[in-house]
Amino acid sequence: MRGDAGADATVPAAAVSARNVSKNYGEVEALRDLSLDFPRGQLTSLLGPSGCGKTTLLKIIAGLLEPTAGEVEVNGRPVTGPGPDRSFVFQDFALLPWASVLRNVAFGLELRGVAMSEREAIAEKYIRNVGLAGFEKSYPHELSGGMRQRVGLARALAVDSEVLLMDEPFSAVDEQTRRKFQEDLLGLVAGENKTFLFVTHSIEEAVYVSDQVAILLPRPSRVSEVIRPRGLRTKNVDDIRRDPEYLDIVDRIWASLRSYVE
């Protein structure tokens, strides 16, 4: 595996480690002997051609799928199923249609038995943090797609899991909203001290938001390369897309993936 990470002492210890993970669906081999570390407190994007197993890997880490071989560890503990140390932000929002924004955001805490006054206070904090103050009593059908995605993100943050798994969370919104989400995500990564695992099809998005970009090969998927755009993380969010390093990395990734695009 070629990349920029190597044994770099500036890379934090791994919060999540996948070791020799394989996954078969019948005769279809989705993942083969895949290994990857996800540094603590940073955002790692999984990037690759459609069908290369990005979501499959995310679901294995979440404990929603069992690997055919290999194992995943979170903070040194093997993953044997879903757990409170991980939260999933779904592409399709997965909101409760009959519940208000406040109830949706507090729902994970409700399942954990947190008292109503405490869970609503926590939910209100994250509703503010994602820019939805004033919509606490609204219902999902009253919100735009971008607002529903913010509710899903607030719900994942509210349960205070150490690892947030995000499966193409911005794919269903318009370009302007997507760019705003990307900027907000950079602020969350800097302020929440959580480990983010982020699946995207967009090269530009991956380079913009990531501390680490893992490029996956087509099925059966392995890690082709890991890129760490170090200099971009020190830039103002408005300057990243104009930075020569950003443009160079985008071109480099496209050059490595273009032969796999039909």
pLDDT at residue number 171: 74
Residue span(s) of the chain under CATH 3.40.50.300 come to 3-85+163-260
Nearest-angstrom CA–CA distance, 76 and 29? 27
Identify the band that residue 3 occupies on the pLDDT scale cut at 50, 70 and 90: very low
pLDDT at residue number 24: 94
Nearest-angstrom CA–CA distance, 94 and 88? 10
Over residues 239-262, mean pLDDT? 85
Domain 3-85+163-260: CATH superfamily is P-loop containing nucleotide triphosphate hydrolases (3.40.50.300)
pLDDT digits (tens, 9 = 90+) for 101-113: 999 999 989 888 8
Nearest-angstrom CA–CA distance, 151 and 155? 6
Does the pLDDT value for residue 2 go beyond 50? no
**Proportion of the chain in helix, strand, coil states, percent, rounded to 5:** 40, 25, 35
State in Å, rounded, how far the first CA of the chain is from the last one.
24
SS3 43: strand
pLDDT digits (tens, 9 = 90+) for 205-232: 999 999 999 999 888 889 999 999 877 7
Question: Token pair of 26, please?
Answer: 């019948």
Identify the band that residue 92 occupies on the pLDDT scale cut at 50, 70 and 90: low
| CA dist 198 → 97, 116, 186, 195, 248 (Å) | 25, 31, 12, 10, 21
